[in-house]
Amino acid sequence: MLSAACFVYVTAETLPVGLLPQIADGLAVSEADVGLLLTSYAVVAALTTIPLTALTMRIPRHLLIAATVAIFAISQLIAAFAGSLLILTLSRLICAVAHGVFWSTIAPVAARLVPPDRAGRATALVFLGNSLAIVLGVPLSTALGQWLGWRVALAVLAVAGAACVVALLIVLPKLPALPQDLAVRAGARLKASVRIIRNGPVAAVCLSTVVLVIGHFAAYTYIAPLVRRDGGLEGFGLSALLLGYGAAGLIGNAIVGRFVDRRPGPLLVTLIALMALSLVLLVPVLGAAPTVLAALVWGGTFTAIPVVLQAAILRVAPLARDAASAVYVVAFQIGIGGGALLGERFVSADRLGWLPALAAVLTGIAALTVLAARGAFPVRAPAPAPEQAPAAV
């Protein structure tokens, strides 16, 4: 059910990517303006993650997860009836407020449910929902939006979110919050969690995340016009491509789950190198077949990369997982917002074709950062310390 919650969140967050032309036409705005929906969402999520995670430390984890998904469902319902870009943006910002708490809480919860040496694998299983969102959520919502309208797609997501809330409350084990005195100390640490960046491995994970995600979202936000330019794909062709993109991500996620707890460094470098290669193939206009191949490799690699990064942030800060996860979420949101904003600047300047090259360069820089940060991304992951054992459930 944690994976299902991830599914609806990721599907909704990336929905503007698949339906960017339809939303632009429906609200009589430019595609570049719709692309900024990702930027505004990311900015609010980045600003609210740390303080709101601190304020919610005393709330039982199972109730907190359910509450964040409930806020998500309400925001999608408002978005379905939005009459202007402003209302649509505000509805997404409601969701963004809960977004940071959801993502900074879900990985520690998953780790708490399993033995310490299985934390990475549990995270991979939960994040399978992210891959399924790209495999099924985005292409199906894109197809549904093209068929019945983007408002219908949003309404369906609202219903799915409400169903997840009910299911989470039924099946998720009770996960008490920390005792009051510990929660106060943890909350104080979290409010000042920017200090955790002084931890070298944590800083390395966050820096790698920001650079990599900026590059990805600069190009991915505008994948619809990109594949239309490169391969003439739109409508059903775009939906099919997004389906293949997500299917490749699902395969990548399954493979990564086997190695993330053992060989994190080599695994991440391999994924980043393949991602950079796929982006390079999208720079020239080579036709439909090369475009599809490059998109599949891109999807397979990037969808799996956050699993490695999330496992890394839990590994390098075993005694401050909530604080480290909150900072990681902020780093990821900075990457999403920065990438979408950077992409919008290029598209507004009629430089759409430059986006894959820009993403490839930033991906290369991220690879160098990973290679230099052996403490964060070791060749072999160290055995977990006894104090990392999860609390009894």
pLDDT at residue 156 tops 90: yes
61-80 helix and 150-171 helix, angle to the nearest 10 degrees:
160
User: Which of 229, 207, 208 shows the shortest CA–CA distance to 219?
Assistant: 229
Q: What is the pLDDT of residue 61?
A: 86
Highest average pLDDT, of 192-196, 363-367, 387-391, comes from: 363-367
Contact (Cβ atoms closer than 8 angstroms) between residue 187 and residue 54? yes
* Model confidence band, residue 154 (pLDDT cutoffs 50, 70, 90): very high
pLDDT at residue 274 tops 90: yes
pLDDT digits (tens, 9 = 90+) for 333-361: 788 888 888 888 888 888 888 899 999 99
Q: What is the pLDDT of residue 393?
A: 34
pLDDT at residue 144 tops 60: yes
14, 136, 141, 228, 293 from 244: Cα distances, Å: 16, 9, 14, 16, 9
Q: What is the pLDDT of residue 178?
A: 58
Select from 1.10.540.10, 3.40.50.2020, 1.10.287.890, 1.20.1250.20 the CATH code of 2-382.
1.20.1250.20
DSSP letters of 192-251? TGGGGGGSHHHHHHHHHHHHHHHHHHHHHTTHHHHHHHHH---THHHHHHHHHHHHHHHH
Tell me what the pLDDT averaged over the chain comes to.
80
Query: Mean pLDDT over residues 117-121, rounded?
Result: 72
Q: pTM of the entire structure?
A: 0.69
Contact (Cβ atoms closer than 8 angstroms) between residue 9 and residue 72? yes
Q: Which residues contact residue 325 at a Cβ distance below 8 angstroms, ignoring those fewer than 6 apart?
A: 103, 104, 105, 107, 108, 310, 313, 314
Q: What is the pLDDT of residue 392?
A: 36
* Model confidence band, residue 294 (pLDDT cutoffs 50, 70, 90): confident
pLDDT at residue 181 tops 60: no
Contact (Cβ atoms closer than 8 angstroms) between residue 246 and residue 136? yes
pLDDT digits (tens, 9 = 90+) for 46-101: 788 777 877 787 788 889 999 999 999 999 999 899 888 889 889 988 988 888 78
Q: What is the pLDDT of residue 231?
A: 63
Instruction: Check residues 57 and 206 and name the one with the higher pLDDT.
Output: 206
pLDDT at residue 197 tops 90: no
Contact (Cβ atoms closer than 8 angstroms) between residue 337 and residue 42? yes
305-316 helix and 321-348 helix, angle to the nearest 10 degrees:
140
User: Which of 312, 304, 100, 103 shows the shortest CA–CA distance to 200?
Assistant: 312
Query: Mean pLDDT over residues 25-30, rounded?
Result: 83
Contact (Cβ atoms closer than 8 angstroms) between residue 379 and residue 263? yes
